[in-house]
Amino acid sequence: MKNLIYIIVAVFISAMATSCDKESLNHENATTNQLKSSVTHLEFADTAAFLNHLKWVENNISNPNAIIQYNQNKLFTSLMEIYEGGSNVTDSVSIINYIQTYPNVFLEQILGDGSTFYDMPYSAALAYILNQNGEVQIGTQVGRWPNYLYLYSYRTEYWTSRVRLVGRLYENPDVANTYKYEVRTTAQKKVGGIWWQTNVEYLVSYNAPGTYYEQQW
């Protein structure tokens, strides 16, 4: 059986090719002005070059500064960097503007308790490679990467009715025709009915009532 990622790349190139848009990233409605770029997407000579870089990102995922430095050297702002920039947005109007400015960066998630929050629609490794529209160039073709992110399980812990910690387990396709499980833990605050990401300085130990969900086969 062919490698799953090679199949995805082949479909990606043939079915989702589009012309390259030379406009700069639009940050007019964003409340943070730290996200700057003069390159709309990363370019790779061929599939092998793309997969080699993807593997490098996966191997350095615990050292994000190295990945961010690589992107900065390319004058490129990744989807991940835009998503994380949202943690500096603090009021409901700015949150809505930020989501509307970057609609492909945020995936609406509704948990079993009815609460809503916004997560990245791609794995962390891909999010460091894709632009704000989920695009990358392989060869001469530019196209949007398909979203295969699947929420497998989650757990919430509440500090207060408006502040909580959410851990998620996502299932993603792997280069070896298997699946990887990616864990994300995010501190969130409730702003205007939306659970929005927020920064915490440190977390030593915490126990509180919450919700746990596990996918059943």
Q: What is the tens place of the pLDDT at every residue in 39-55?
A: 789 999 998 999 999 99
Instruction: Kindly tell me if the per-residue pLDDT of 8 is higher than 60.
Output: no
Q: What is the pTM of this model?
A: 0.75
**pLDDT range class, residue 205, cuts 50, 70, 90:** low
User: Average pLDDT for residues 25-39, to the nearest whole number?
Assistant: 42
C-alpha separations of 47 from 7, 10, 94, 166 in Å: 11, 8, 38, 35
Instruction: Kindly tell me if the per-residue pLDDT of 3 is higher than 60.
Output: no
Q: Which two tokens stand for residue 181?
A: 């499980």
Instruction: List the strands of the sheet with 141-144, edge to edge.
Output: 17-18, 141-144, 135-138, 43-44
What percentage of the chain has pLDDT greater than the value 90? 41
Q: Which two tokens stand for residue 62?
A: 């615990």
CA 80/CA 126 separation, integer angstroms = 8
C-alpha separations of 19 from 78, 137, 142 in Å: 19, 10, 6
Residue of 143, 183, 187 lying closest to 8 (CA atoms): 143
Query: 43-44 and 135-138: which strand pairing?
Result: parallel
